[in-house]
């Protein structure tokens, strides 16, 4: 349970980071959401074997994390935490796709390894971008933004509550876990049976709580629609941010920047 508690704590930390006050945090959430979307589309739309042209995309999360005062070590740890997923997803590529695509000296590198590298890189970039977005924009601002951008009300509301009660639910899980640990004396409780009991119990608790929350909401005039109170202002700064970065991403997507740069430099030398 300790590691779960730790995860929950880290998740809370990300949430807390989003309440800082930096130029990036002050940007309109819509500008950041939209920019991140363009970023994701550009990164994901590369061909299967793209590695080199992806590298310049590292610029965005690095710059935003820097300006947004997000601790690098923290982001890196979060990235590592989700890395096993990406590692597993692409693991068979090197085995299945064995024809040699690249020769470095006498060493042949198979297409499979290249596509695996591409997957890992893309996974890293998109995860970083998402982390940076969440770390610089409070979750409710993100919800307000996607609602303003035309997502259905219900969707934004659901997301909002999901996020809000993750903390409450997480606390409940931690408390139950502690109670179990206290009475199982370092052994694994009663194994799987206790876990299923705990899960059932958690479900009941959650259900009871949901009912009480609903009461509290009707008590204050809830009629099925949450009115998210947010006056969003798009300033020229926000527009410049979005357009500027989007232009950069599209340029990175269309031109193989490292290659062009390399050619340019070799051109200078010779």
Partner 1 sequence: MSHHSIEARDLAFSYPDGTVALDGVSFEITHGESVAIVGANGAGKSTLLMHLNGFLTPLRGSVRVGDVPVIKSTLSDIRKAIGTVFQDPDDQLFMPSVYEDVAFGPMNLGLPLEEVDARVIEALTQVDALRLKDRPPYRLSGGEKRAVAIATVLAMRPNALILDEPSSNLDPRARRRLIGLLGTFTHTKIIATHDLDLAMDLCERTIVMSGGTISADGRTGDIFTDDALLDSCGLERPLSMQNCPKCGRSD
C-alpha of 125 from chain center: 10
Residue 218 contacts partner 1 per CB under 8 A: yes
> CA 64, CA 57: separation in Å to the nearest integer?
12
What's the closest the beta carbon of residue 169 comes to partner 1, in angstroms?
A: 10
- In the complex with partner 1, the residue whose CB is nearer, 119 or 160, is 160
**CA-based end-to-end distance of the chain:** 62
Residue 17 contacts partner 1 per CB under 8 A: no
What's the closest the beta carbon of residue 3 comes to partner 1, in angstroms?
A: 21
Q: Work out which of 167, 195, 255, 264 binds partner 1, going by CB under 8 A.
A: 167
- In the complex with partner 1, the residue whose CB is nearer, 119 or 145, is 145
Q: Work out which of 4, 149, 154, 168 binds partner 1, going by CB under 8 A.
A: 168
Residue 233 contacts partner 1 per CB under 8 A: no
Residue 15 contacts partner 1 per CB under 8 A: yes
> CA 262, CA 259: separation in Å to the nearest integer?
5
C-alpha of 161 from chain center: 18
Which of 30, 34, 35, 60 has its CA nearest to residue 125?
A: 60
Q: What is the 3-state secondary structure (H, E, C) of 116-143?
A: HHHHHHHHHHHHHHHHHHHHHCCHHHHH
| Distance set, CA 193 to CA 96, 178, 203 (Å) | 41, 17, 15
| Distance set, CA 60 to CA 66, 87, 194, 242, 246 (Å) | 10, 23, 46, 12, 10
Residue 138 contacts partner 1 per CB under 8 A: yes
Binding mask 87-126 for partner 1 (x = CB under 8 A): ----------------------------------------
Which of the stretches 109-117, 136-144, 148-156, 189-197 binds partner 1 when contact is defined by CB under 8 A? Answer: 136-144
Q: Which spans of this chain sit near partner 1 (rule: CB under 8 A)?
A: 15-16, 19, 138-140, 160-161, 163-165, 167-168, 209, 212-213, 215-223, 226-229, 231
């Amino acid at each position: 349970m300790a590691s779960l508690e730790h995860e929950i704590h880290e998740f809370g930390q990300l949430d807390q980071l989003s309440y800082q006050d930096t130029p990036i945090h002050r940007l309109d959430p819509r500008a950041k959401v939209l920019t991140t979307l363009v970023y994701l589309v550009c990164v994901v739309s590369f061909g299967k074997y793209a590695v080199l042209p992806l590298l310049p995309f590292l610029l965005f999360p690095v710059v935003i994390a820097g300006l947004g005062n997000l601790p690098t070590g923290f982001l890196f740890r979060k990235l590592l935490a989700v890395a096993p997923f990406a590692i597993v997803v692409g693991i068979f590529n090197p085995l299945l796709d064995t024809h040699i695509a690249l020769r470095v000296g006498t060493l042949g590198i198979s297409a499979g390894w290249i596509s695996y590298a591409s997957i890992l890189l893309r996974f890293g970039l998109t995860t970083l971008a998402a982390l940076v977005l969440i770390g610089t924009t409070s979750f409710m601002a993100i919800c307000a933004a996607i609602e303003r951008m035309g997502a259905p009300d219900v969707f934004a509301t659901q997301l909002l509550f999901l996020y809000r009660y993750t903390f409450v639910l997480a606390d409940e899980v931690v408390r139950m876990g502690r109670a179990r640990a206290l009475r199982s004396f370092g052994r694994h409780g009663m194994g799987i049976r206790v876990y299923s009991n705990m899960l059932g119990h958690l479900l009941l608790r959650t259900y009871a709580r949901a009912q009480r929350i609903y009461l509290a909401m009707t008590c204050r005039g809830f009629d099925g629609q949450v009115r998210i109170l947010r006056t969003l202002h798009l300033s020229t700064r926000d527009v410049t941010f979005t357009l500027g970065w989007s232009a950069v991403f599209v340029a990175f997507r269309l031109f193989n920047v490292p290659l062009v740069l390399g050619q340019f430099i070799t051109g200078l030398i010779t």
